[in-house]
Structure 1
Amino acid sequence: MVVPYRHEPFTDFSVEENQIAYQKALNYVKGQLGKEYPLIINGEKIFTKDKTVSENPSSRNEVIGYVSKCSEELAEKAMQAAFESFKTWKKWDPAARANILLRASAIIRRRKHEFSAWLSYEAGKPWKEADADTAEAIDFLEYYARQMLRLKDGIEINSRDGENNRFSYIPLGVGVTISPWNFAFAIMAGTTVAPIVAGNTVLLKPASTTPVVSYKFMEVLLEAGLPKGVVNYIPGSSSEMGDYVVDHPTTRFINFTGSKEVGLHIAEKAAKVQEGQIWMKRMVSEMGGKNTIIVDNEADLELAAESIVYSAFGFSGQKCSACSRAVIHQDVYDEVLANVVAKTKELTVGPTYKDNSKFMGPVNDKAAFDKVMDYVEIGKGEGKLMTGGTGDDSEGYFVQPTVFADVDPKARITQEEIFGPVVAFIKAKDFDELIDIANNTEYGLTGAVISNNRDHLEQARDDYHVGNLYFNRGCTAAIVGYHPFGGFNMSGTDSKAGGPDYLLHFLQPKTVSDMF
């Protein structure tokens, strides 16, 4: 019997005991900063001369770690290790593979605050956001392990007299996981363990700004009993070795989370059949969004303001699901805008590794800071700046939460993904226009509708074209197993991470008909 999946609970930091425990974890991690980390290929630790320097985005002169960079030559070594390991790993009992994930989740659960503290340092996450990231990583391991147990015996199909038919699943082969920095633990872990529990082997290329927490996860997998070569940890430059492993004829699939531009580049390269390649590579991708919360004139306006503020500014707006557009009915526009501005002015911004007093931490790095501030300047010419609009990168990369009003639906700040704490307000005359504006981007990831009109909600259910649609709540905070996550159009392949069919992307069905 498959034990039911239960979502990992979040930590209540209003409890003093939990505050003390997290601070203890932060102190422990601080004592670990500045170390060197190797590649892990076929279970072997390999230090290279060329290093990625992981910095604290809240205090950019503080080094989290020096991480070895993988070369093309070492990437080839990792590919061969994964290929050889696949020959035996694919034959493991799926229940035994699932057991490794469950053991790993138990290890992480025992060290939950420690992993969250790494996220506060390396990714700049506030305590609440870091805790949710770690909980989601645990959830992915637990959920995918149980999903594999449900799939391991295949699906019953029809047989007939003199013929027994079986429909089962087999793994694909060697794949490449390219993970993002914004959910440096959860998405990295989920996009790694889903393929391996299905029987594949993986080359893990983590984000260049958050490689240390990925290394810590590798340590957990090995401690849990993962055989050498099943996951090979190869941080490094996309131009130096990322394209190489995507192009490689041995690569069977690419599991990518990141920007639209990089995702389309990978998809184009993956579509080209290389010499010696005998399959079409599968591409599983999540590429961002331009997400909208719409509010009609029959909504709970306090709920609307709270939902917009949290969805726009949680983790400094650095979520692919973040609310970057608020489309408001003209009858309630001024009231909602004023309430959002007032709530935004109350938000605190600053270092997150010191204590739990700041709602927002930094943006990811210098490149992210410059990009967000460039969009702020664009926004000043496209709308009315209501609050925020300033940044400070003297110590860390801090941007004040920013609200623009009276923005055109086709303006750049309402069409292009900013990936920072900026939200644009747009006015609409009726519910049809609210929906039309919400749908007017090339993305289709998340959205939310705040309304007490059931007819409007049912209309949105059909007409609001996003992969994850929420009623009377914000548009962020999907939970594994509860809100399978993925979007339409340029948001990716709608692969629905944390959903009941996610593992099927890394399996191929086989029918065997036995005559007797």
Structure 2
Amino acid sequence: MVLQYSHEPFTNFKEEQHKKAFQESLAYVNTQLGKHYPLVINGERIETTEKKVSINPANKEEVIGSVSMANQQLAEQAMQSALQAFESWKKWKMEHRANILFRAAAIMRRRKHEFSSYLVKEAGKPWNEADADTAEAIDFLEYYARQALEMKDGASVKSRVGEYNQYHYVPLGVGIIISPFNFPLAIMAGTAVAAIVTGNTILLKPADATPVIAAKFVELMEEAGLPNGVLNFIPGKGAEIGDFLVEHPKTRFISFTGSQAVGCRIYERAAKVHPGQIWLKRVIAEMGGKDTVVVDRDADLDLAAASIVYSAFGFAGQKCSAGSRAVVHQDVYDEVLEKAVKLTKTLSVGNPEEFETYMGPVIHEASYEKIMSYIEIGKEEGKLMVGGEGDDSQGFFIQPTIFADLDENARLMQEEIFGPVVAFCKARDFDHMMKIANNTDYGLTGALISNNREHIERAREEFHVGNLYFNRGCTGAIVGYQPFGGFNMSGTDSKAGGPDYLILHMQGKTTSETF
């Protein structure tokens, strides 16, 4: 029997002792800025001439740190290291691998505010968003360790008289982990340790914008007792090492979180069999969304407005689950829009180091420029109700923005913006709501705000998303409670934090002995 685990609680910063503890951690992390982090290959620190400097998106003048960048030669060295380590790591007992995750979770829990402070500084996350990111990373460590213990003896199969059949899981091999900037601790850690605990070895390529957080995680895994070569840390340019590793004949699987364009490119390139390759590569991909909060005519309208606003503007809309579309019944449209605009005007935008800040910057200049260009498109397609302004003089700040009266096929209703912009669209009736909710290429998250039981049950069947929420926002899935992953162009519906996720990193082996 595996010990039960609920989930890591969020910190209540309204309590003075928690607030003070977080401020102390921020002060400490501010003394740690500007350090350099080398590659880690087979436990060896390797410096390169090419460096990536990580800056604070809320203060472009402040350097968080720098990392060495891998080239193809070093990527090949990391691959050979991982291949060699796999031969011994795959033989470790599952419970011994799980124990490393449990220890890592304990270390991260003790240093929770420190990791969250790095998220504030490098990713621009306000306190609550940073705290939730770290809590989710701890949850992944705990959950996947417990899942591994449940799977260590395989699955039950039938045996007949005179034979004994067993079904076990065996690891795949070397995996490439390509992690995103938006959950630079939780998703990076979750995808890495899911592969590791199941007996694989990995090459970790962190997001360009948030490599220092990944480097701190690598240090933590070493402290937890992970053997050399199991996790190789290789920041690098996608064009330089990304394609090279995806196409490498010894790569067994790729675990990717990021944009649809890059995900599709990886999927296509991973499908080609190269000389010396004796397997079909497995791809685990989470590729974003265009997520909808649907508001029924008999909904709680205050709840509806809050669900729209907080789903749209949490972490400046830089979540693949962010509610970037509000589809509202025509009878309550004006009232919900008015409430949402009023609530949006109360949100504070500024330095995420300040406790009072609700929304910090977007991640970098390229993101800022892209979002601002979509705001210009929005001015052509709809009616600007609030926001629409940006300021990149010090950091990459964009005001939370609402556009009203969008056509259901407008670009703002169809294309992933990945910023603090939400589009309002009017619907005639429930059939029309479901039609609009399903009219994108994506299918990640969605929410229905309704008190109509028939409509809730219809949406349960008809609203085609991997994560559907009733009478709450469409962000904030918790590991083990709401397994996360979507349909269509949102990816392979791999359901991170769910009961099937670890199996994606293994293959089943049947043994049958006749007596």
Relative to the length of structure 1, the TM-score reads 1.00
Deviations 1:393-420 (A, max 9, x none): 0000000000000000100010000000
Q: Report the alpha carbon displacement of residue 478 of structure 1 after superposing the two structures with TM.
A: 0.2
Q: Report the alpha carbon displacement of residue 5 of structure 1 after superposing the two structures with TM.
A: 1.9
CA distance in 2, matches of 1:232, 1:333: 52
Aligned residue runs from structure 1 range 242-253, under 5 A: 242-253=242-253
Counterpart check, 1:66 vs 2:76? no
Q: Report the alpha carbon displacement of residue 460 of structure 1 after superposing the two structures with TM.
A: 0.1
RMSD of aligned residue pairs (Cα, Å): 0.4
Amino acid at match of 1:16: E
* Structure 1 residues without counterparts, runs of 5 or longer: none
CA distance in 1, matches of 2:66, 2:468: 41
Amino acid at match of 2:335: E
Secondary structure at 1:339 match in 2: helix
CA distance in 1, matches of 2:482, 2:398: 30
Aligned residue runs from structure 1 range 258-407, under 5 A: 258-353=258-353, 355-407=354-406
CA distance in 1, matches of 2:286, 2:208: 18
Amino acid at match of 2:513: D
CA distance in 2, matches of 1:357, 1:296: 33
Q: Report the alpha carbon displacement of residue 21 of structure 1 after superposing the two structures with TM.
A: 0.4
Secondary structure at 1:312 match in 2: helix
CA distance in 2, matches of 1:431, 1:491: 24
CA distance in 2, matches of 1:394, 1:447: 35
Deviations 1:12-45 (A, max 9, x none): 0100111110000000000000111100000001
Residue 500 of structure 2 is matched in structure 1 by 501
CA distance in 1, matches of 2:443, 2:494: 13
CA distance in 2, matches of 1:459, 1:161: 48
Amino acid at match of 1:484: P
Secondary structure at 2:20 match in 1: helix
Residue 458 of structure 1 is matched in structure 2 by 457
Deviations 1:234-284 (A, max 9, x none): 001000111111110000000000000000011111000011000000000
Amino acid at match of 2:42: N
CA distance in 2, matches of 1:201, 1:66: 25
CA distance in 2, matches of 1:481, 1:510: 26
Residue 475 of structure 1 is matched in structure 2 by 474
Secondary structure at 2:137 match in 1: helix
Secondary structure at 2:352 match in 1: coil
Amino acid at match of 1:491: S
CA distance in 1, matches of 2:449, 2:142: 32
Amino acid at match of 2:276: G
Q: Report the alpha carbon displacement of residue 6 of structure 1 after superposing the two structures with TM.
A: 1.8
Aligned residue runs from structure 1 range 169-248, under 5 A: 169-248=169-248
Q: Report the alpha carbon displacement of residue 47 of structure 1 after superposing the two structures with TM.
A: 1.0
CA distance in 2, matches of 1:357, 1:395: 19
Q: Report the alpha carbon displacement of residue 207 of structure 1 after superposing the two structures with TM.
A: 0.1
Secondary structure at 1:164 match in 2: strand
* Structure 2 residues without counterparts, runs of 5 or longer: none
Q: Report the alpha carbon displacement of residue 184 of structure 1 after superposing the two structures with TM.
A: 0.4
Q: Report the alpha carbon displacement of residue 351 of structure 1 after superposing the two structures with TM.
A: 1.0
Deviations 1:468-493 (A, max 9, x none): 00000000000000000000000000
Q: Report the alpha carbon displacement of residue 2 of structure 1 after superposing the two structures with TM.
A: 1.1
Residue 152 of structure 1 is matched in structure 2 by 152
Q: Report the alpha carbon displacement of residue 425 of structure 1 after superposing the two structures with TM.
A: 0.3
Secondary structure at 1:2 match in 2: coil
Residue 22 of structure 1 is matched in structure 2 by 22
Residue 410 of structure 2 is matched in structure 1 by 411
Residue 435 of structure 2 is matched in structure 1 by 436
Relative to the length of structure 2, the TM-score reads 1.00
Deviations 1:158-200 (A, max 9, x none): 0011110001100000000000000000000000000110000
CA distance in 2, matches of 1:66, 1:138: 25
Amino acid at match of 1:67: V
Residue 125 of structure 1 is matched in structure 2 by 125
Amino acid at match of 1:29: V
CA distance in 2, matches of 1:243, 1:114: 34
Which stretches of structure 1, 4 residues or longer, exceed 3 Å deviation after superposition?
Answer: none
Residue 166 of structure 1 is matched in structure 2 by 166
Residue 56 of structure 1 is matched in structure 2 by 56
Deviations 1:97-117 (A, max 9, x none): 000000000000000000000
- Identity over aligned pairs, percent: 65
CA distance in 2, matches of 1:60, 1:271: 40
Deviations 1:42-96 (A, max 9, x none): 0001111100010000001100001100111000000000000000000000000
